[in-house]
A = this chain, B = another copy of it.
């Protein structure tokens, strides 16, 4: 991927992903104060970018979570493989790929297991270390809590080192403040009971939405905090919106304007993106139609407008690179080099 010469933001083709470097640094500092060093295991899936990961590594967060074999492969190749956790299950072809990646690279790779099949796949792939993934209330991956001890025994019998447990309380990330502490404690009580049966040093879990609530894990799996989105922004945390899409107004109608960024540039699973002082009407493949907020003037064709996505992870995965800015000046360009599978 060729990097454009560093220029002013106004010289960028649109749409383009832009990161406010000061906001990013603020977010990293804020999270690092709460979860210093290896107590934070940043989740690579949120931004799929070794350049960003390296900034966290420099702050002492040298262990990372990954969600795909490609992320593991890329992090190892970038020399960021001190302690990688594939916090996801792999079997079949993907387990074989993971084995190939681990065999040829220097680095430490631990993989999540939650079933006999995933334990057998890890052993067959010659991955040496595992965490037992425990379901703590969200219907996704993770074994039944009562089964965690048996799975740990099976893993050890298969020659694997069991480092501990992980459990992701994803269903509580957006829980309201009044009930969040109580519900997170209950979910983590499930994880801690499983940990007693499993053993090991690691209790891994949590995310940006529970960074201030979860006091039970030994390491927090958070990624979105670094760049943020409007969904997590609703929680009122100290993290600042660091990411936006730089777009151009390409058409102006009677009451609306059209931007040149659409479904291929912006993830829609958490709802419409946000335009400052505007109401987004709808998003098409390559367009966003919006109207100025009550009383506001329509922009002019050629104007630039900032669009903020509702969900950071799948938005970033649509782009080739992000542009780091100090005000209007582009100071760095980071390839989004861990995309796909």
A111-130 contacts to B, CB under 8 A, are: 114-115, 117-118
Mark the stretch among A86-94, A156-164, A213-221 that contacts chain B.
Answer: A86-94
Residue contact A13 to B313, C-beta cutoff 8 Å: no
Subset of 29 A-B contacts with CB under 8 Å: A11-B93, A13-B97, A13-B341, A68-B286, A88-B250, A88-B260, A89-B260, A89-B301, A90-B250, A92-B248, A93-B248, A115-B252, A117-B300, A118-B251, A135-B253, A139-B256, A141-B258, A142-B251, A144-B253, A263-B269, A264-B313, A264-B339, A265-B341, A268-B268, A268-B269, A285-B313, A317-B318, A319-B340, A320-B340
Number of copies: 2
What residues of chain B lie closer than 8 Å to A139, measured between beta carbons?
253, 255-256, 281, 289
Given the interface pairs A301-B91, A340-B320, the reply to whether A67 lies near B285 with Cβ below 8 Å is yes
3 tightest Cβ-Cβ pairs between the two chains A and B: A117-B301, A89-B250, A268-B269
Q: Are A91 and B248 in contact (CB under 8 A)?
A: yes
List which A144-180 residues lie within 8 A (CB) of chain B.
144, 170
- Complexed CA–CA distance, A255 and B140 (Å): 11
Residues of chain B with a CB closer than 8 A to A118's CB? 250-251, 301
Residues on the B chain within 8 Å of A11, using CB: 93
Shortest distance from the beta carbon of A296 to any chain B beta carbon, whole Å: 16
Contacts of A230 in B (CB 8 A): none
A244 within 8 A of B: no
Contact B317 A94 (CB under 8 A): no
Which residue of chain B has its CB nearest to the CB of A170? Answer: B284
Interface members, chain A 251-297 (any B CB < 8 Å) = 251-256, 258, 260, 263-265, 267-269, 281, 283-287, 289
Shortest Cβ gap from A272 to chain B (Å): 10
Check if A39 is an interface residue, CB within 8 A of chain B.
no
Q: Is the interface of A mostly helix, strand, loop or mixed?
A: loop
- Give Cα A268–Cα B283 distance, bound, in whole angstroms: 12
Q: Is A45 an interface residue (CB 8 A)?
A: yes
Closest CB in chain B relative to A172 CB, distance in Å: 14
Q: How far is the CB of A328 from chain B (nearest CB, A)?
A: 14
Closest-CB distance, A70 to chain B (whole angstroms): 9
Closest to A313 in B: B285
- Please report which residues of chain A, range 299-315, place their CB below 8 angstroms from some CB of chain B when the two chains form the complex: 300-302, 311, 313-314
In the bound complex, what is the Cα–Cα distance between A67 and B284 (angstroms)? 11
| Residue A52 interfacial (CB < 8 Å) | no
